[in-house]
Amino acid sequence: MVSKRHEENKQLAFKYDEEMNEFSTKLMDPTKNTVFQLNGPINFLSMIEIDNMIKRMMKQKNKKNSTMDAIVVDMQNVTSLEFTGIEVLVNRLVEVSEVEGEENDDLPIHMVNISPAIGNALDQCDPLHKISRLGCHQ
């Protein structure tokens, strides 16, 4: 009986992983979303690059025929982070996602491939979970 229950739990965990992989694949679809892949450290010095990325996001979002359903930020290649850098990143992403006075035009933000360290930093900077998190580095 114990082994049967253990097998059932394995199947549920596997099914959950499949669902998360399917969701992740949909998010990474370039025909629906623009994916921004971050590389290297996120720290105080990253603010200039974050600002440049935000400007590109705003241009993409403001295109008349934009098909972007969400902002997807791939964190897989982030090597390290400091609180100041992740705080600036979160605040700027939330700024892009929200359109003043037009609730229907809000653009969801999804961070994918987050590590536990990034997840902990996001919990501090984004306690309301305005940015959804999909972690693959468990």
Report the distance separating Cα 33 and Cα 84, nearest Å: 27
What's the whole-number mean pLDDT along residues 89-114?
A: 78
- Asked whether residue 105 carries a pLDDT value surpassing 70, the answer given is no
CATH of the domain at 93: 3.30.750.24
Average pLDDT score over residue span 91-106: 71
pLDDT at 78: 94
Residue 138: band (very low, low, confident or very high) from pLDDT cuts 50, 70, 90: very low
Structural domain that includes position 22:
2-134
List the helix and strand counts (H, then E) for the chain: 4, 4
pLDDT band at 12 (very low <50, low <70, confident <90, very high): very low
The band of 103, judged by pLDDT with boundaries at 50, 70 and 90, is very low
Give the chain's domain count. Answer: 1
Q: Could you tell me if 81 and 40 are in contact, meaning their C-beta atoms sit under 8 angstroms apart?
A: no
pLDDT surpassing 60 at residue 70:
yes
DSSP-derived pairing of the beta strands 109-112 and 71-81: parallel
Q: What is the mean pLDDT of residues 95-121?
A: 78
What is d(CA 26, CA 59) in angstroms, rounded to the nearest whole number? 22
Percentage of the chain surpassing pLDDT 70?
66
Cβ(116)–Cβ(80) under 8 Å? Answer: no
Query: In whole angstroms, what is the distance from residue 80 CA to residue 107 CA?
Result: 27
| Cα–Cα distance for residue pair 132/108, rounded to 1 Å | 8
How long a stretch of residues is the chain?
138
